[in-house]
Amino acid sequence: MAFPNSSLSTDDLLNMFRRMVVIRTFEETLGNLFSKGVLGGTSHFCIGEEASAVGVIFAAKPTDWLISNHRGHGHLLARGLQVPRVMGELMGKLTGYCGGRGGSQHMSAIDLHFLGTNGITGGGIPIATGAALALKYKQSNDIAIAFFGDGASNQGTFHESLNIASLWKLPVLFVLENNLYGMSTPVAHSCASTELFRRAEAYGMKGSRHEAFNVEEVYTVAQEAIARVRGGGGPELLELMTYRQCGHSKNDPRVYRTREEEAKMMEKDSLLLATRSLLARGLSQEQIDQAAADARAEVAKATEEALAAPAGGRDDALSGLFA
């Protein structure tokens, strides 16, 4: 069934489905690469949260500026960064977007108006607010969009930035991806009031909460919110209810929740829902399977390319501290 207010064509939706499969496959591939010891450090996967990234970012203009957090691969890939270069960055290769200096939590692509992922929880929220200040100052028609989680909503920067953004009527959309857990801590154990979108009211801005499993639904609510922000209505807070199907990071045994809960949430898997929508719009299962296979092949090819790319040397490590 198509979402009632959706302005998406079937081609658009298929394209979004395909991008969600790229994200899902990318994260699964990373999991394999970690277990093979190819990747160092850690990574925070967004398996289960693809509809939030793709829905919002497809609703934005390509010139709107994005800021993401530690769980940013979905946002990066939704914006259309080249998969081999995102993978290369994670592998620490020179072909990566930041030459391997940033890695998963510190990746930007300025030419695509992606200001960066940020490894400090809540650290990107004021930066997005500052980007919005600059956009307003330059009388640009673009807006800034900040992605962060329920955990970040307990940082001072969240409250301070929402207050300032509202006070100064800055063109910024705050996207709070509520996946119910800050690492292992359930929202009810960290937030005195669990309806996080209501925090917007304290700062004189519109806040709203939406399920974020159906990508069409996310697209529609994001499109409306983005139009209001772009129209000069000031900032908004979108609380998108999602679910991280995987652990917090690569080594998480998920002792803080039950397998039953996970199974129940899997019924709302965004790929499953998008597949149903595409079938309802008349696409065949074979067409959908083909799109998914194409997406998986793209990630596989990107992974090979990134594996083959060179890592940097002494000069790459020690140069470029100052502009």
How far is the C-alpha of 275 from the C-alpha of 39, rounded, in Å? 32
What minimum distance in Å lies between the beta carbon of 166 and another protein?
11
What minimum distance in Å lies between the beta carbon of 106 and another protein?
5
The CA-to-CA distance between both ends of the chain, in Å, stands at 53
Q: Of 107, 319, 146, 124, give the one whose Cα is nearest residue 229.
A: 146
Nearer Cβ to another protein (11/315): 315
DSSP H helices, the chain, are 10-35, 50-59, 73-79, 83-90, 124-137, 156-167, 187-190, 199-202, 215-228, 259-266, 270-280, 285-308, 314-318
Does position 80 bind another protein by CB under 8 A? no
Contacts for 320 with CB less than 8 Å, ≥ 6 apart: none
Which listed residue (43, 154, 161, 214) binds another protein by CB under 8 A? 161
What minimum distance in Å lies between the beta carbon of 71 and another protein?
17
Nearer Cβ to another protein (127/283): 127
What minimum distance in Å lies between the beta carbon of 120 and another protein?
5
Site for another protein in 138-157 (CB under 8 A): 138, 144, 156-157
What minimum distance in Å lies between the beta carbon of 235 and another protein?
13
Is residue 208 classed exposed, middle or buried when 0-12, 13-18 and 19+ CB atoms within 10 A define those classes?
middle
Which listed residue (37, 137, 192, 255) binds another protein by CB under 8 A? 137
Which listed residue (129, 220, 242, 277) binds another protein by CB under 8 A? 129
* Tally of residues, the chain: 323
Site for another protein in 242-281 (CB under 8 A): none
How far is the C-alpha of 126 from the C-alpha of 239, rounded, in Å? 18
Nearer Cβ to another protein (120/293): 120
Site residue total, another protein (CB under 8 A): 45
Going by the DSSP 8-state scheme, the letter that residue 218 receives in this structure is H
The total of other beta-carbon atoms located within 10 Å of residue 71's CB is 25
Which listed residue (28, 168, 198, 252) binds another protein by CB under 8 A? 168
Nearer Cβ to another protein (74/102): 102
Interface stretch with another protein, choices 44-52, 175-183, 284-292, 315-323 (CB under 8 A)? 315-323
Does position 108 bind another protein by CB under 8 A? yes
How far is the C-alpha of 58 from the C-alpha of 269, rounded, in Å? 19
Kindly calculate the radius of gyration of the chain based on its CA atoms and give it in whole angstroms. Answer: 19
Sheet (strand 114-116) strand order: 114-116, 65-67, 144-149, 172-178, 236-241, 206-211
Which listed residue (90, 128, 176, 215) binds another protein by CB under 8 A? 128
Which listed residue (22, 46, 91, 131) binds another protein by CB under 8 A? 131
Does position 311 bind another protein by CB under 8 A? no
Nearer Cβ to another protein (106/230): 106
Q: Would you say 218 and 16 are in contact if contact means Cβ atoms under 8 Å apart?
A: no
Nearer Cβ to another protein (55/72): 72
Written as one string, the DSSP assignment of 177-192 is EE-SEETTEEHHHH-S
x-or-dash string of contact with another protein, 85-104, rule CB under 8 A: -----------xxxx-xx--
Give residues in contact with another protein (CB under 8 A).
65, 67, 96-99, 101-102, 106-110, 115-116, 118-120, 123, 125-135, 137-138, 144, 156-157, 160-161, 163-164, 167-168, 320-323
